[in-house]
Amino acid sequence: MGIFIWLLVVVVLIVWLTVRLKLHPFLALLFGAIAMGFLAQLEVAILVGSLAEGFGGTLRSIGIVIAAGTIIGEYLDRSGGARVLANKILDTVGEKNSPLSMSLTGYIVSIPVFCDSGFIVLSALNKAIAKRAKISLAVLAVALASGLYATHVFVPPTPGPLAAAATLGADIGWVLILGLIVSVPVMIAALVWATRFCKNYEIDFELSDAAESKKINPPSFTIALTPILSPILLIALKSIAELPAAPFGEGFLFSTFVFFGDPIIALLTGVILAFFMVKGGRKKIQNQWLEEALKKAGIIILITGAGGAFGAVLRETDLGDFAAQFAEIGGLGVLIPFLIAAFLKSAQGSSTVAIITAAAITAPLLEPLGFDSTLGTALVVLAIGAGSLTVSHVNDSYFWVVAKFSEMDTPTALKTHTVATLIMGITGLITIQILAWILV
């Protein structure tokens, strides 16, 4: 219990440093990680090693993805491509339905793509729609982020649900089917929150006027859409190629899809395609845009790495042992795996890590809880997924991706995105419990 109390103290400290003292999140997260290490009485070598490994490990998996996605977003913005896409979408669905459109877009995109990557790629489009439809960017940011998050934690082939299904011996087909059922009300609940309450938060931002210059003509709809769709399609093909049925075999075609479908390669491909949005190949302009994109990416990468360092330090503490004590509480059904995952998520930030860790803790509890049947095990996987939504805050890299790419300050992100993830998690738990009463 002591380690849990110290965790609460450190989380409050980080929030206070960023909200009240206006300290940059990069430093606040690192100071919080160091404070947690000392309070948990970690050895100095373990503490310092965790900081370095957590920072480097996080950037190893997402650093290049953030940089590449930022470049695509910058080119969409400055070339006028984002405006072209926004106009097309709004002409099709209508301005009143733009939050629903972005939420559904995120919902579909995140099935094969990590939610971080999806939000980065679509953030410029979000801004363009907000400007055109005169809707608060906070509304569209939460709508897109929650749509991406809904399928990220519930629907294979994203790594979290797949890993949990493997650990618990769940049928992936049932996880997929039930995950799609559960994720719909979860997405709708967040969309209601976004449209009804987040509209009260105004975010000041400016789109580049470069595309309105006579020197630059905006790209066509197809050329503007290609840098977004291509990475998504490549990553989806990789997921399909790696299915147990091996639809593309195991030869050259398989290797090709696996290579080009890696998020790093897929987004770098999108970067190359983004260069074609500038007609006439104006190298000077392209270099200016590229440098500006890399400057923006650098700040986001540093914050993301600091969040990874904080999570790594927390994983060296006894938080996992404390979470396992939830198993001693009887008669709560899917609430126990939900609480374990929610605690781990809130403590260390990563939804995927929370899912995998909670699945390992929950595995021996399936029979005592009465969820060792085929459908019961699939529902436990989803309960863990719902817990891994609850909540996304300052130690979560996705929190900072949503905040920084939407130009939210920390208090606004906590009041909009973080509350949305709480609503999503609780909605998921209720939906899963109802299914459990019916199916188990």
In this structure, are residues 171 and 378 in contact, taking their beta carbons and an 8 Å threshold? yes
In this structure, are residues 248 and 240 in contact, taking their beta carbons and an 8 Å threshold? yes
Please, what is the Cα angle at 315 between 37 and 385, to 5 degrees? Answer: 140
Alpha carbons within 13 A on the beta-carbon side of 50: 23
Domain ranges of the chain: 2-439
| Helix (H) or strand (E) segment spanning residue 6 | helix 2-19
Q: Name residue 35's amino acid.
A: A
What pLDDT is stored for residue 417 in this prediction?
Answer: 96
Give the three-class secondary structure for 263. Answer: helix
Alpha helices in 332-418 (DSSP H): 335-348, 351-362, 366-369, 374-387, 397-405, 410-413
Give the other-Cβ count within 10 Å of 292's Cβ: 16
The pLDDT tens digits of the residues spanning 224-277 come to 888 888 887 887 788 788 777 778 888 889 999 889 988 889 889 989 998 888
What is the maximal distance between C-alpha atoms in the chain? 70
Distance between CA atoms of residues 279 and 141, nearest Å: 30
The pLDDT tens digits of the residues spanning 134-160 come to 889 999 999 999 999 999 999 876 778
Give the other-Cβ count within 10 Å of 401's Cβ: 27
CA-nearest of 152, 148, 149, 146 to 194 is 146
What pLDDT is stored for residue 282 in this prediction?
Answer: 58
In this structure, are residues 383 and 334 in contact, taking their beta carbons and an 8 Å threshold? yes
Please, what is the Cα angle at 305 between 300 and 310, to 5 degrees? Answer: 130
In this structure, are residues 420 and 316 in contact, taking their beta carbons and an 8 Å threshold? no
Decide: pTM greater than 0.85.
Answer: no
In this structure, are residues 348 and 311 in contact, taking their beta carbons and an 8 Å threshold? yes
In this structure, are residues 341 and 386 in contact, taking their beta carbons and an 8 Å threshold? yes
- Phi, psi for residue 136 in degrees, rounded to 5: -55, 135
Give the three-class secondary structure for 160. Answer: helix
Residue stretches of the chain with pLDDT short of 70: 1, 19, 61, 86, 112-113, 157, 207-216, 279-285, 319-332
DSSP per position, 63-123: HHHHHHHHHHHHHHHHHSHHHHHHHHHHHHH-GGGHHHHHHHHHHHHTTTS-HHHHHHHHH
